[in-house]
Amino acid sequence: MAFNIKDVNHITSEEMKIIITDYYKKRNYILVGTELRIRINRGYYFCDAFACNLDEFIEFEIKTSKKDLYSDIKTKEKKHSLYLSKNIKNPHAPNKFYFVVTEELYRDFNIRKHIENISPNYGIICIKFWAEDCWQIDICKSAKPLHNNEVKEELIKNIYKKLSAENISLRKSLYTAKHNL
């Protein structure tokens, strides 16, 4: 993907969100976005990025450092235990879950072992610098289904609302930037 990043030696989570959502949009997922609030049982959780079509909902957790990964493992233990429950019936639970990491984090840290300790079903995607302004997505470990429930209409409506609000906000920002010049 051609995308101009300020510092190719340090990719940010915001830049990674753009790369991963663009990747899945180009693979015919009808809904892609970032920072979706999802309800699981009685709690609310945010997913960093997501891709959804009528068959599956995939959640992506973006990690740029060991500290960030460890923090996720400790602070989101309840979320992960809900995702891994054998009887999950929640309409917002993802069918698949991926950790998306930098090349450096994947290479220098035994991330596969740490993620498999959380769940052997979770996948790992690595974003690698490829060439000038180009990034490569490497699926290091494919995610296995967490469940086979169909994507519910309630979830699709929630995603449409989120994307509509985001689009309106971006339009307002563009309008303000244009008229403040």
| Residue boundaries of the structural domains of the chain | 13-179
Overall average pLDDT of the 63-86 stretch: 77
pLDDT-derived band at 1 (thresholds 50, 70, 90) equals: very low
pLDDT at 13 over 80: yes
CATH code: domain 13-179 is 3.40.1350
- What's the pLDDT at 143? 94
Asked if residue 95 lies in contact with residue 43, where contact means CB atoms within 8 angstroms, the answer is no
pLDDT at 2 over 50: no
Note the pTM of the prediction, 2 decimals: 0.85
Q: Using alpha carbons, list the distances in angstroms from residue 38 to 50, 57, 158.
A: 11, 12, 8
pLDDT at 115 over 90: no
160, containing H or E segment: helix 153-179
Which residues does 5 contact at the CB level (< 8 Å), separation at least 6? 11, 15, 133, 135
| Rounded distance between C-alpha atoms, residue 101 and residue 124, angstroms | 7
| Rounded distance between C-alpha atoms, residue 133 and residue 137, angstroms | 13
- What's the pLDDT at 38? 77
Asked if residue 30 lies in contact with residue 19, where contact means CB atoms within 8 angstroms, the answer is no
Overall average pLDDT of the 62-73 stretch: 85
- Summary mean pLDDT of the chain: 83
Coil/strand/helix, residue 39:
strand
